[in-house]
Structure 1
Amino acid sequence: MGARIYLQHPGHDQTVAVATGFSWGACLLGFIWALSKRMWFAAFVMLAINLMLFGIGLWGATADLIGLLLSILFAVVCGAYGNQWHRWTLEKRGYVAL
C-alpha cells in the first residue's frame, strides 16, 4: 500500500488524504471513480475515451481485439496516474499539502 499525502484547504478545516501509487479504483471503475472524487473534467474525458474505444470494438473481429487491448491499456494508465490527477485537481481548488 502506498503512502498518503494530506491536503488541506486554507479556508476550511477539511483535510483530504490522497494515496500515492497505483489506484485500483481508477483502473477498475474509470469515470465512476472520477465522479466519486468530484473530478468532473477527468470523468468526462475518461467517459469519452471509453465510448470511443467501445465504438472501435463494433467494427469487426480485428477491431474488437484492438479495442479490447486499447481499453486495457487505458485502464492501466488511469490506474497509474489516477492519484496524481486527484491531487492535481485538489491543488487547483486551493488545497495545499501539509
Structure 2
Amino acid sequence: MGARIYLHYPGNEDTVAVPTGFSWGACLLGFMWALSKKMWFAAFVMLGISVILFCSGLWGETADWIGTVLGVLFSIGCGVYGNQWHRWTLEKRGYVVL
C-alpha cells in the first residue's frame, strides 16, 4: 500500500486523501470508478475507449485477440495513472496539497 497525499479545499473543512501508486479500482472498474470519484471527463473518455475496444472485437478472430490485448493494456494503464488523474482533477477544482 502506497502513501497518501492529502488535499484540502481552502475555506472549507473538506480534506481528501488520494493514494499514490496503483489503483485497483481504476484497473478493474474503469469508467465506473471515475464516476464514483466525480471525474466526469475521464469517465467519458474511459467509456468511449472501452466501447471502441469492445467493438473492435466484433470484427473477427484476429481483431478479437487484438481487442482483448489492448483492453487489458488499457485497464493496466488506468490502474497505473488513475490516482494521478484523481489528484489532478481535484487540483483543477481548487484543492491544494497539505
TM-score using structure 2 length? 0.99
Q: Which runs of 5+ in 2 are unaligned?
A: none
Cross-structure match for 1:23: 23
**Superimposed CA distance per residue, residues 50-93 of structure 1 (whole angstroms, 9 cap, x where no aligned partner):** 00000100001110000000000000000000000000000000
* Structure 2 counterparts to residues 18-97 of structure 1, below 5 A: 18-97=18-97
Q: CA deviation at 1:12?
A: 1.1
User: Number of residue pairs matched?
Assistant: 98
Q: CA deviation at 1:11?
A: 2.2
**Superimposed CA distance per residue, residues 2-31 of structure 1 (whole angstroms, 9 cap, x where no aligned partner):** 000000000211100000000000000000
The alignment partner of 1:46 has SS state of helix
The alignment partner of 2:25 has SS state of helix
TM-score using structure 1 length? 0.99
Superposed CA RMSD in Å reads: 0.4
Q: Which runs of 5+ in 1 are unaligned?
A: none
**Runs of 4+ residues deviating >6 angstroms:** none
